[in-house]
Amino acid sequence: MPTSENDSPPVYREIAEALRHAIASGELADGDRLPGENDLMKRYGVARATARQALSVLINEGIVVPVRGSGIYVRAFRPLRRHGPRRLSRELWDNGRAIWEADATDREFETDSITVREIPAPDYVSRALELPGEARVVCRRRRYHLDGRPMQLATSYLPAALVAGTAIAETETGPGGIYARLSELGYAPAHFTEEIRVRMPSPTETEELQLSAGTPILDVLRTALTARRLPVELNEMTLDGSAYILQYDFDA
Cα separations in angstroms, 208 against 6, 75, 135, 166: 43, 18, 30, 29
Alpha helix (H) residue ranges in the chain = 11-24, 37-44, 48-61, 84-87, 90-94, 101-104, 123-129, 160-163, 177-184, 203-208
Looking at the structure, tell me whether residues 93 and 188 fall in a common domain: yes
**Number of alpha helices (DSSP H) and beta strands (DSSP E) in the chain:** 10, 10
pLDDT at 12: 94
Say how far apart CA 161 and CA 168 lie, in whole Å: 12
Q: Which of 80-89, 90-99, 200-209, 236-245 has the highest mean pLDDT?
A: 200-209
Shared domain for 182 and 91, answered yes or no, is: yes
Q: What domain range is 68 assigned to?
A: 11-74
pLDDT over threshold 80, residue 197? yes
Nearest-angstrom CA–CA distance, 122 and 124: 6
pLDDT at 79: 73
Q: How many domains are there within the chain?
A: 2
Tens of pLDDT, residue by residue over 210-232, are 887 778 999 999 999 999 999 99
From its phi and psi, is residue 204 left (phi > 0), alpha (psi between -120 and 50) or beta? alpha
134-152 average pLDDT score: 91
Q: Note whether 81 and 245 are within 8 A (CB).
A: yes
Same domain, 230 and 204: yes
With beta carbons less than 8 A apart as the criterion, state whether 241 and 79 touch.
Answer: no
13-67 confidence digits (pLDDT tens): 999 999 999 988 889 887 889 999 999 999 999 999 999 999 999 888 778 888 8
Contacts (Cβ under 8 Å, ≥6 apart) of 19: 28, 34, 35, 54, 55, 58
The closest of 135, 156, 151 to 224, measured between CA atoms, is: 156
If one compares 192 and 84, the residue with the highest pLDDT of the two is: 192
pLDDT tens, position by position, 2-25: 555 555 678 999 999 999 999 888
Q: Note the maximum CA span of the chain.
A: 70
pLDDT for position 100: 64
Give the model's pLDDT for residue 81: 79
Query: Predicted confidence band at 140 (pLDDT cuts at 50, 70, 90)?
Result: very high
Residue type, 170: E
pLDDT of residue 244: 83
Q: What mean pLDDT is reported for the chain?
A: 87
pLDDT for the residue numbered 4 = 53
5, part of any domain? no
Tell which of 74, 93, 113 closes a domain: 74
Which CATH number characterizes residue 65's domain?
Answer: 1.10.10.10
**CATH number of the domain to which 240 belongs:** 3.40.1410.10
The percentage of the chain sitting over the pLDDT mark of 70, rounded to a whole number, equals 86
* Residue where a domain terminates, one of 74, 106, 127: 74
Within a domain: 2 = no
